[in-house]
């Protein structure tokens, strides 16, 4: 069982809080609101409605099916985000592709971040506190940074001030989210390190990424070994320079060739190497022709 699935399972207890009509959480001042803000909740898909103002209306079917296959094998790695409209009623903020793909594979629940009224500052505090924990894997940290950027509209510089990390450090975590989902899961499960992931991310082709990931796991390769693999991959993509043909040290002009051909009565092949050496090839058609050439040479 992957860490992603384990983390989703923890949200099932929290989801019970949202189904108590007598203690409906509507704002950060309500009882148990602190348990919801910043946490992942396992939410019923039927309780989520699509945002009517979603600017994106066309979804590539092939890409959606690929995501559905990934979710079927690995689960939903990155939770969706919804806002609470009413009791057990939510509207999607981000993650429509993940929601659609989850429906395609028949999931009834999906991991979600729930936004409630006036929770902006509480969410920032919860996420910053979460990032400071020592038991988070690199992907969980990256997702928290991404969430601060998407939902609170923080820049990397602003996040740097909030969490006390260099902007370059934050950027390195965020780049991990460009890895193939299989590799992200591998980092979460501890099969490879963040260093491995940072090396692999330099490859844009996802199939090539997963090929190298499989080699790392099966051969127990170090980060240095991985960097060498990535370097060799990029070298293999470079066009090989055409072999240079060295020019002969001098040229045999056509009149000289004609002279040889005329003298021997056959088409003579003359080759000159770049060091000045060469050879003359005189063909013959029969024994009589051979003897004729011998006679010409020995005159």
Please tell me the predicted confidence (pLDDT) of residue 6.
40
- Give me the phi and psi of 57, to 5 degrees please: -120, -20
Domain assignment of residue 246, yes or no: no
Question: Cα-flanking dihedrals φ and ψ of residue 49, to 5°?
Answer: -110, 150
Residue 109 and residue 162 in one domain: no
List, in order, residues 6 or more apart from 255 with CB less than 8 Å away: none
Judge contact between 212 and 200, C-beta under 8 A: yes
The reply to whether 232 and 271 lie within a common domain is no
pLDDT along the chain (299 residues), means of 10: 41 73 81 82 91 62 89 90 87 87 94 81 72 80 86 83 88 94 92 95 92 94 95 88 64 76 78 79 82 78
287 is catalytic: no
Inside any domain, residue 249: no
Here the CATH number for the domain that contains residue 78 is 3.90.1530.10
Please pick, among 96, 151, 235, 295, the residue that the annotation labels catalytic.
96
Which of 68, 85, 118 is at the close of a domain? 118
What pLDDT score does 228 carry?
A: 94
What is the model's pLDDT at position 200? 96
Return d(Cα 64, Cα 22) in angstroms, integer: 39
160 and 114 in a single domain? The answer is: no
Is 85 found in the same domain as 1? yes
- Looking at the domain assignment, is residue 70 inside a domain? yes
C-alpha distances in angstroms, 86 versus 27, 28, 40, 60, 250?
11, 15, 19, 32, 91
For residue 152, how many other CB atoms are within 10 A of its CB? 15
Helix locations, 27-153, DSSP H:
33-36, 61-74, 96-104, 120-131, 138-151
Question: Side by side, which strands form the sheet with 80-86?
Answer: 40-44, 109-115, 80-86, 89-94, 48-49
Same domain for 109 and 210, yes or no, is no
Q: Which helix (H) or strand (E) element contains residue 279?
A: strand 278-281
113 and 125 both lie in a single domain: no
State how many domains the chain has: 3
Answer yes or no: do 218 and 287 share one domain. Answer: no
Closest CA to 77 of 131, 27, 32, 138: 138
Does residue 248 sit within a domain? no
Strands 89-94 and 80-86: antiparallel
* pLDDT score recorded for residue 249: 60
pLDDT value, residue 232 = 93
Alpha-helix residue ranges (DSSP H) falling in the chain: 3-17, 33-36, 61-74, 96-104, 120-131, 138-151, 156-163, 167-175, 181-188, 194-200, 206-219, 223-237, 254-264, 287-297
Residues contacting 186, CB < 8 A, separation 6+? 192, 213, 217
Give residue 9's pLDDT: 45
Q: Are residues 21 and 40 in the same domain?
A: yes
For residue 29, what are the contacts with CB-CB under 8 A and spacing of at least 6?
Answer: 118
- Shared domain for 25 and 56, answered yes or no, is yes
Question: What range does the domain containing 16 cover?
Answer: 1-118
């Amino acid at each position: 069982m992957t860490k992603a699935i384990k983390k989703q399972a923890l949200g099932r207890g929290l989801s019970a809080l949202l189904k108590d009509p007598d203690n409906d959480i509507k704002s950060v001042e309500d009882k148990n609101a602190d348990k919801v803000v910043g946490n992942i909740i396992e939410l019923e898909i039927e309780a989520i409605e699509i945002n009517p103002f979603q600017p994106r209306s066309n979804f590539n079917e092939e890409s959606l099916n690929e995501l559905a296959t990934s979710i079927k094998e690995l689960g939903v790695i990155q939770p969706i985000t919804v806002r609470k409209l009413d009791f057990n009623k939510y509207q999607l903020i981000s993650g429509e592709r993940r929601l659609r793909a989850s429906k395609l594979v028949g999931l009834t629940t999906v991991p979600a971040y729930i936004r409630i009224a006036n929770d902006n500052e509480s969410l920032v505090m919860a996420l910053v506190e979460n990032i400071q924990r020592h038991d988070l894997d690199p992907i969980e940290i990256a997702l928290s940074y991404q969430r601060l950027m998407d939902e609170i509209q923080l820049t990397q510089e602003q996040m740097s001030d909030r969490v006390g990390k260099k902007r370059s450090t934050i950027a390195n975590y965020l780049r991990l989210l460009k890895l193939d989902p299989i590799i992200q899961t591998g980092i979460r499960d501890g099969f490879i390190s963040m260093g491995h992931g940072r090396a692999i991310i330099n490859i844009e082709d996802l199939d090539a990424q997963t090929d190298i990931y499989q080699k790392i796991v099966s051969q127990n390769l170090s980060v240095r070994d991985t960097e060498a693999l990535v370097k060799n991959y990029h070298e293999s993509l470079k066009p090989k320079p055409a072999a240079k043909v060295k020019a002969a040290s001098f040229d045999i002009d056509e009149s000289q060739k004609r002279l040889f051909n005329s003298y021997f009565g056959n088409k003579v092949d003359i080759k000159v190497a770049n060091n000045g050496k060469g050879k003359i090839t005189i063909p013959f058609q029969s024994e009589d022709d051979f003897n004729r050439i011998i006679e010409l040479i020995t005159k």
